[in-house]
Every structure is written in structure tokens, then in C-alpha cells.
A = this chain, B = another copy of it.
Amino acid sequence: MSAGKIVDLNKLCIHTITTKHWSIEEAAENYSKVGVKGISVWRQYLDGRNIAGTGEMLRAHGLEIVSLVRGGFFASTSLDARNKALAANKKAIDEAAALGAPMIVLVCGADPGQPLEVSRQQIQAGIETLLPHAIESGVKLAIEPLHPMYADTRSAVNTLAQANDMAEAIDSEYVGVAADVYHIWWDPDLEQQLMRCGRNNNLFAFHICDWMSPTVDFLNDRGLMGEGCIPIRKIRGWAEAAGFRGYNEVEIFSDRLWSGDQHEFLKRIVKSYYQS
């Protein structure tokens, strides 16, 4: 078996945002029908629902809950906004615990009104503040480095090296890294930083999709695996070599793919997953 090759669906997880127009009940039913084994739940899909009951519903469909998406947004020039973010993150941790999600993905945030270094300090301080509540709740926190094109507002953590630095500085088994190929595929240090991440038991999550050429929208023009130029299998091989045994989480934001038939889209996800 060659490194990174997909042989079955046992490690296929889908983020609910990927099939944006489906409720979580529809997603659960449709994912499980085609053999998807994991689900990562975006918080808006829990709105108005009994969260513990929703977790039971997902497990009853044979789905493992991989992560709750998302916490973060710790960085701001406003102390009030930072405090509100901490409160929102505590609520997210409570939701993850109620749902039975073992982990929250952190989109760490940035504020164009302050230096990146300040945002980075606020992010680390925010995570450290949350950590006791996360530990008590049994919910891990995964720092997701975001592509440098999001450094102004979405995340001041823009490389796997930075995420590794931060996770190692915080030094808790409850804090690690979510590696999304979309954000880090271009990085010349990717292989060595994945190895470092694994060596420190910090590789908590692995997200996949593809980079379209050309990309026409900063947020919502991700591709299905194989549609773009990301060497997903090679990167997965590195993650496996680094000891990662978790899910491949398909996280695609795409106005193009959201506009068509969603059952057809789900079939294409499964097909392209095998080929990825």
C-alpha cells in the first residue's frame, strides 16, 4: 500500500458546512447512506436543537463526531471583544461536551488594526485562559493555521510552524493542531513541520479539499479533491508517517459546488476521496 492511499471509507469525515444547505438531520442521514463514517459539526447546525440529543442522533446513524467547528477569534484591539470571544469559546466547549465532540477547531483570529505579533500573543493568552475549562470538559483544542491570505482578519497563525510553536509553548495534551491542506500546501517546510507536529503528539486533525487554479473567491472557491493542484496524497502520506491515524475531514466551501444537486455533490465527494 503506497503512502497516503485511500482504500476504504473508514476514515472519511465530512464537515456539515460542506453540504451547506442540508440540516444536520439531513446530513446525518445522507452521509451515513453513502458510507461516510465521521462528521464534523459546524455550530450553526445546532441552532435551536437539543445538543445532547443531536449527538445521540448522529451516533445512531453510525457517525463518529470528529470535531465541533469552530472556536477562536481571540484577537482584537477591543478588550471587550476579547472577553466576549472567551465567553463564546467557553460556550463552544460546553456545546462540544454536550454533543460528544472530542475536539474544537480554533480559527484563531486577527485584527488588521494591530500588529500580527499582538494578535498572536492574544491568541495564545486566549487559549491558555480557556484551557482549564477545556480539560475539565474533556474537549481538546486544535489550533488551525490559516493561509497567509487570511492574516488580516481570520488568523494571525499562518504556518504550521507557528501552530507547532504555540501548541508546544502551551504544552498540554489538550492543545494541538488542525492541519488543513488548503492552508498549508504551499509551505516549503510542510513535511518537516508535519513530522514535528506528530512527534509532539500535536497532530489532532487533518482537513482536505483542493486549491482551484484560478481561484476566484477568497472564501468560497475551494475544490473537490483532485480538482486543483494540492498534492493531497503526498501530504496525507507525511501525516501518516508523522503518526496520524485520524479522519480525513472534507471541508469544502464552494459557491459553485453548493449551487448544484447536493446528493450528486456527496457522490462526487466520496469518489474524489477514493482518488485523493
Contacts and interface: CB of A to CB of B under 8 A. Distances in A.
Interface stretch (A31-39, A112-120, A122-130, A247-255): A112-120
A30 interface: no
B149 A112 contact: no
Contacts of A218: 214-216, 218
Contact of A213 (B112, B186, B231): B112
Nearest to A112: B229
Nearest to A185: B151
Contacts of A185: 151
Q: Which range contains the number of A residues in contact with the other chain? A: 20 to 34
A261 to B, nearest CB: 27
A187 to B, nearest CB: 8
Given A112-B228, A229-B113, A162 B188 contact: yes
Interface in A151-175: 151-153, 158-159, 161-162
B211 A152 contact: yes
Interface of A: 112-113, 115-116, 120, 147-149, 151-153, 158-159, 161-162, 185-188, 211, 213-216, 218, 228-229, 231, 234
Q: Which 3 A-B pairs have the closest CB atoms?
A: A112-B229, A151-B186, A112-B213
Given A116-B188, A152-B215, 13 more contacts: A112-B211, A113-B229, A116-B186, A147-B149, A148-B186, A148-B187, A149-B149, A152-B211, A152-B229, A158-B187, A159-B188, A161-B188, A162-B188
